[in-house]
Structure 1
Amino acid sequence: MDQPDGPSTARMIDYWLGGRHHRPVDVAAAAAFEAAYGPCAAIFRSLRGFLGRSVRAMADEGVDGFLVFGAGVPTCGNVHEVAPEATVLYTDVDPETVRLGQRLLAGSDRAGYGYGDATDTGTVDRAQLHRFVPGWGRRPVGVVFLGLAAFLDDDTLARTLDELYQAVAPGSRLAIDFDSEELAGHPQALAMMGPAFRMRAPDRFAPLLGRWRPTDDGVVPVARWRLEGEPEQVPDAFYGALALRPAD
């Protein structure tokens, strides 16, 4: 977990996305990671682009309530900015990130921020959930699950996704990403990710979705998911999918 006085992954990503909510310690950590790996801004822009396109796709299909796990900093094209007519509950497990998110969203009647552990949906405040994701469990909603699969082993990930599948109503959608083996050739950068970080080969991604049914797009590099025009040339570090919870 991020240390209170140390760099924050959420704020490092904010820095790479060109945001304003980061500190010198985050910039230094981002520079150290880039020295071990290479430029990251384009990679995280491509992931944020996938977030935007998948959320717009869900909104176009009538989804108007979103639950976001591992939300990070709620700016730079995050869910409520992409789907301004929807209501959104952002969650994270890092208390400092939660406080920052609450400060940024103070006064909003369409987006809130609270503590929430994706591996235990019972940790999400029920009052917030029903306020910002009305109809949870009774009508289709969107679940955003980005940046998390790489820190869960296969069994935990499968259990978590199955619990989410059971919790939401048929017609709900799931936006998810997976980390490829991109960092395998960069041992210093890989070490910085910590022992919980898991790379996976692309052929392992789809089976991990369990009962969630990916759209016809499949699980593909995020830079190429439903992209109009030429994709930005970035390494295939992240693969993503939009998946449906069909009727049983």
Structure 2
Amino acid sequence: MGEPDEPSTARMIDFWLGGEHHFDVDVAAAGAFEQAYGPCAPVFRELRAFLGRAVRAIVEQGVDGFLVFGAGVPTRGNVHEVAAEATVLYTDVDPVTIRLGQRILADSDRAGYGYGDATDIGTIDPAQLHRFVPGWGRRPVGVVFLGLAAFLDDATLTRTLDELYAAAAPGSLLAVDFDTEELAAHPQALAMMGPAFRMRPPAAFAPLLGRWTPTSDGILPVQRWRPVDPPAEVPDAFHGVLATRGAD
């Protein structure tokens, strides 16, 4: 894979997580964002740690198939590395990220990577969905929806989560995060996020879930969601929740 011309958020996050799948252009962009904001690496490490804890909680419910939207780089504690016995379909809309993911997973027989627009589940290749998320719509699965809510307006987000609710089988679980108003105090960093980026106050998060029901943990800063160790001292940039699909 040649050196890309534009940075990728997915590869910037890989850099912050200490991964190996990024380029000079991503390191430069990550450095610029750090200058504008600051604690990017610890914040994203806490978000990835939340993902790991949420995936383990889903597996504990007997779920062994995952559908991941906006998957980014499938390493550094991503879903198939945490759920070692599960099958996983990673999806994204960025063709460079998809090709990178496919290359990383080329030798895997239980994790695949393909195109998938979270706002239109029909864009996912049915053959990939059948292979890596067997029983989709008929048996409980884990749906991972991290890093996306901040780029969808309220109407699109609620419609998308409702469509996922309707498509998933009862007993399925959804891991989702929301961006707080943390960047409001950092206008230069906020400008770098682009016009589609939406910050929300925590009080706005629960109504966006629609029919998905949060577990008893509720919606919490990601570092305080079922922490294994004392929660890290990082800004409350992301709130996370694990929510269930009922039997209606």
Q: Helix, strand or coil for the counterpart of 1:170?
A: coil
1:52-71 alignment, distance < 5 Å? 52-71=52-71
Normalised by the length of structure 2, the TM-score is 0.98
User: 1:141-180, aligned counterparts within 5 Å?
Assistant: 141-180=141-180
User: TM-score, structure 1 length as denominator?
Assistant: 0.98
Separation (CA, whole Å) in 1 of partners of 2:107 and 2:185: 46
For the pair 1:184 / 2:184, whether they are aligned, the reply is yes
Aligned counterpart, 2:112: 112
Task: Check if 1:228 corresponds to 2:228.
Answer: yes
- 2:205 corresponds to which residue? 205
Match of 1:82 in 2: 82
Local SS of the residue matching 1:27: helix
Q: Percent identity?
A: 79
SS of residue matched to 1:62 = coil
Q: Report the residue type matching 1:181 in the other structure.
A: E
The number of equivalent residue pairs is: 245
Please give the secondary structure, in 1, of the residue aligned with 2:25.
Answer: helix
RMSD of equivalent CA atoms: 0.5
Superposed CA offset, 1:179-216 (max 9, x none)? 00000000000000000000000000011000000000
Q: Equivalent residue for 1:35? A: 35
Are 2:133 and 1:133 aligned?
A: yes
- Partners of 2:13 and 2:198 lie apart in 1 by 19
Distance 1:44 1:229 in 2: 17
Structure 1 unaligned segments of length 5 or more: list them.
none
1:228: how far off?
A: 2.1
Aligned to 1:8: 8
Cα distance in 1 for partners of 2:228, 2:145 equals 23
Distance in 1, matches of 2:179 and 2:201, equals 8
Classify the secondary structure of the residue corresponding to 1:143: strand
